[in-house]
């Protein structure tokens, strides 16, 4: 039997009598370490200061964060160890699928009221599963997918008994993470040959979608939705497939359907708002943008752009007073943030312009220019792109070009962002304006890479490192440069031997790569290589 004496438990429940009832239940199970929180904020605060093994959280927490938002935040901020159990307590049973947001599922749903024995049974089941997957989950938590796959294969080889299907499911998900689609497809197909399971169908369709076979993906997603209309992930992925094939109206309708089934998911509402903007459906765009702002209130996904998106939609519908008011509340919600201040100034200029108030529009634009000058280093890329657009529209082409040049150089290997740059240029009638710059930057990047690799192959490690270091200076936020830089640097170190200086340098670039968001699976091998070098360096120092 599971021993709860040694477990640290957090109970999150707003209703005092209910809290007492669950507390009594827990004490009857000999729980000794119990912390209680009456709302989501206190729950998050408690998780920051304590290390919990079990969180029992009610979905419905009255005002403030709901249970799902507590779960999302704890997962995204890694406030819980990977072997902790998060149990969502709900009033009704069938909600479970509606509640779950994309990747964030609790370990267990418990419908209240529940007996002490039921709680214990469910906890036992959860911990059995958790301890079975302990190594795999820890590796996933570190985003070390290669290692997670190794452990998962080991579990599967050791006759996992009744957990075999669960292990296969995890193995397929891991295969998708590392883009090994054929393995994932094989697993899902094998499972489906035995039994039609919702998640295996979903996985199969997702693989078709990821491999660019959108038509096949769409067919399977529609079949899933027909058979299991509450599979909300299927709607999300179907909409994504429609988007990939430029069927925006269908994408919008699909997301709209999902939202009528489960209106509480901020990311889905945000997606709907984006698509409705594309299709020009102002009514849907406005309601979705409003929901996003509302749902963002207590969510870790809250973002200033949600406010400015709403302001833009309102401006388009000539509700300029409302639009200005939203920007004002954005300023209040995100105080002392230069990106937000710039964001507000840019859109205020827009709104005053459409009102015909040239004087105020100019004042707002001047403020935007000043903010850009002052805080250049601290501004995020999306708002800088918006600013360069505003500059083009206000005939400040040289400033606009300069901003764009820096953005292109830093993000040349971020296809999505480069697409956004192109899209921005199209909307203001500057088609192909940045094309040449993008083209030359890309060529330059390829050239540097080729040169660097050539030098490396010829054994000129130091020269290769120097070449990348120079490139790094002109494109400090470029992921390809930094990734190759770290790879070659480690080879150079192996060649010339570890020194305090080159190890510190290597560590700096690895950390920088991590900060820039280089995909963890690309960094894993490098980090392991570095750890090996660091260990042998440490040992060699000891010998001396």
Partner 1 sequence: MPNTTIAATDFASILAASVHDMKNSLCTIRDLIQQLKQSNTTDNQLMQLEFEASRMNNSLMHLLALYKIELEKFSLQIDEYSLNEVLNDIQAQQSALLELSQISLEVEYDSQEQLCYCDFDLISNAIGSILNNAQRYSEKHVILSAGNQNGYSYFCIEDDGAGFPEKLMASKEIDFHGGNTGLGLYFVSIIAKLHSNANKQGYIETSNTSRLGGAKFTLFLP
Residues lying near partner 1 in the complex (CB under 8 A) are found at 15, 17-18, 20-22, 24-25, 28, 60, 91-97, 109, 111-118, 120-122, 125, 161-162, 165-166, 195-199, 227-231, 260-261
Cβ 96 to partner 1, closest distance in Å?
7
Which residue number, 61 or 330, has a Cβ lying nearer to partner 1?
A: 61
- Closest separation in Å from C-beta 262 to partner 1: 9
In the complex, the smallest distance separating the C-beta of residue 189 from partner 1, rounded to whole angstroms, is 16
We find the least distance from the C-beta atom of residue 17 to partner 1, in angstroms, to be: 5
196/321 with CB nearer partner 1 = 196
Contact 167, 156 (CB under 8 A): yes
What are residue 108's DSSP bridge partners?
87
Nearer residue to partner 1 within complex by CB, 105 or 360: 105
Q: Which C-beta is closer to partner 1: that of 227 or that of 447?
A: 227
Task: Quote the DSSP letter at residue 101.
Answer: B
- DSSP type of residue 104: B
Q: Where are the alpha helices (DSSP H) in 33-89?
A: 40-49, 67-76
Please report how close the Cβ of residue 163 comes to partner 1 at its closest, in angstroms: 9
8-12/54-58 β-pairing: parallel
For partner 1, the closer of residues 89 and 387 by Cβ is 89
Q: Which is nearer to partner 1, 231 or 315 (CB)?
A: 231
Q: What is the strand order of the sheet 8-12 is part of?
A: 33-37, 8-12, 54-58, 85-90, 108-111
DSSP H helices, 79-197, are 96-99, 116-132, 134-141, 145-157, 164-177, 181-194
- Distance in Å, CB of 2 to partner 1, minimum: 12
Q: Whole-number minimum distance, CB 128 to partner 1, in Å?
A: 10
Cis ω before 299 (30° cut-off from 0):
no
Give 19 or 491: the residue with its C-beta nearer to partner 1: 19
> Closest approach of Cβ 192 to partner 1, in Å?
12
SS (H, E, C) 214-276: HHHHHHHHHHHHHHCCCCHHHHHHHHHHHHHCCCHHHHHHHHHHHHHHCCCCHHHHHHHHHHH
Nearer to partner 1, 277 or 287 (CB): 287
Q: How many CB atoms lie within 10 A of CB 279?
A: 15
- Across the strands, what pairs with 90? 111
Q: Do 257 and 226 meet the contact criterion of CB atoms below 8 Å apart?
A: no
């Amino acid at each position: 039997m599971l021993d709860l004496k040694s477990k640290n438990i957090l109970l999150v429940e707003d209703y005092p009598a209910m809290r007492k009832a669950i507390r009594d239940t827990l004490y009857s199970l000999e729980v000794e370490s119990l912390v209680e929180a009456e709302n989501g904020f206190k729950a998050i605060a408690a998780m920051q200061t304590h290390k919990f093994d079990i969180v029992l959280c009610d979905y419905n927490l009255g005002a403030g964060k709901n249970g799902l938002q507590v779960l999302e935040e704890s997962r995204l901020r890694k406030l819980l160890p990977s072997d902790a159990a998060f149990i969502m307590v709900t009033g009704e049973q069938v909600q479970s699928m509606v509640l779950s947001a994309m990747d964030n599922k609790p370990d267990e749903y418990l419908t209240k009221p529940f007996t002490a024995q039921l709680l214990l049974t469910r906890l036992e089941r959860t911990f059995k599963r958790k301890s079975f997957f302990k190594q795999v989950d820890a590796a996933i938590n570190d985003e070390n997918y290669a290692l997670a796959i190794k452990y998962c294969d080991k579990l599967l080889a050791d006759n996992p008994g009744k957990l075999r299907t669960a292990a296969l499911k995890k193995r397929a998900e891991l295969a998708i993470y590392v883009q090994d689609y054929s393995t994932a497809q094989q697993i899902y197909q094998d499972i489906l040959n035995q039994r039609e399971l919702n998640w295996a169908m979903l996985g199969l369709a997702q693989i078709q979608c990821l491999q660019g076979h959108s038509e096949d993906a769409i067919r399977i997603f529609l079949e899933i939705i027909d058979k299991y209309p509450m599979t909300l992930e299927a709607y999300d992925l179907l909409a994504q497939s429609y988007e990939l094939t430029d069927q925006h109206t269908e994408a919008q309708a699909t997301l709209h359907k999902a939202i009528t089934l489960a209106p509480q998911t901020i990311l889905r509402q945000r997606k709907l708002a984006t698509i409705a903007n594309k299709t020009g459906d102002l009514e849907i765009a406005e309601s979705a943008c409003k929901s996003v702002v509302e749902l963002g209130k207590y969510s870790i996904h809250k973002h200033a752009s949600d406010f400015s998106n709403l302001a833009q939609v309102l401006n388009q519908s000539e509700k300029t007073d409302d639009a200005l008011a939203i920007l004002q509340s954005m300023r209040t919600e995100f105080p002392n943030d230069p990106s937000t201040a710039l964001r507000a100034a840019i859109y205020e200029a827009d709104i005053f312009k459409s009102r015909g108030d040239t004087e105020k529009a100019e004042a707002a634009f001047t403020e935007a220019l000043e903010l850009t000058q002052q805080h250049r280093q601290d501004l995020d890329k999306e708002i800088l792109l918006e600013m360069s657009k505003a500059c083009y529209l206000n005939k400040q082409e040289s400033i606009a070009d300069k901003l764009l040049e820096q953005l292109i150089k830093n993000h040349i290997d971020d296809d999505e962002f480069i697409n956004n740059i192109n899209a921005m240029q199209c909307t203001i009638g500057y088609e192909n304006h940045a094309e040449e710059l993008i083209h030359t930057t890309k060529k330059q990047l390829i050239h540097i890479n080729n040169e660097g690799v050539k030098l490396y192959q010829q054994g000129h490690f130091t020269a290769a490192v120097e070449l990348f270091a120079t490139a790094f200076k002109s494109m400090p936020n470029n992921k390809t440069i930094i990734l190759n830089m770290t790879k070659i640097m480690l080879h150079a170190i192996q060649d010339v031997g570890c020194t305090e200086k080159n190890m510190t340098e290597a560590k700096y670039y690895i950390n920088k790569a991590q900060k820039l968001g280089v995909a963890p699976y690309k960094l894993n091998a490098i980090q392991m290589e570095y750890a090996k070098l660091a260990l042998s360096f440490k040992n060699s120092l000891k010998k001396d």
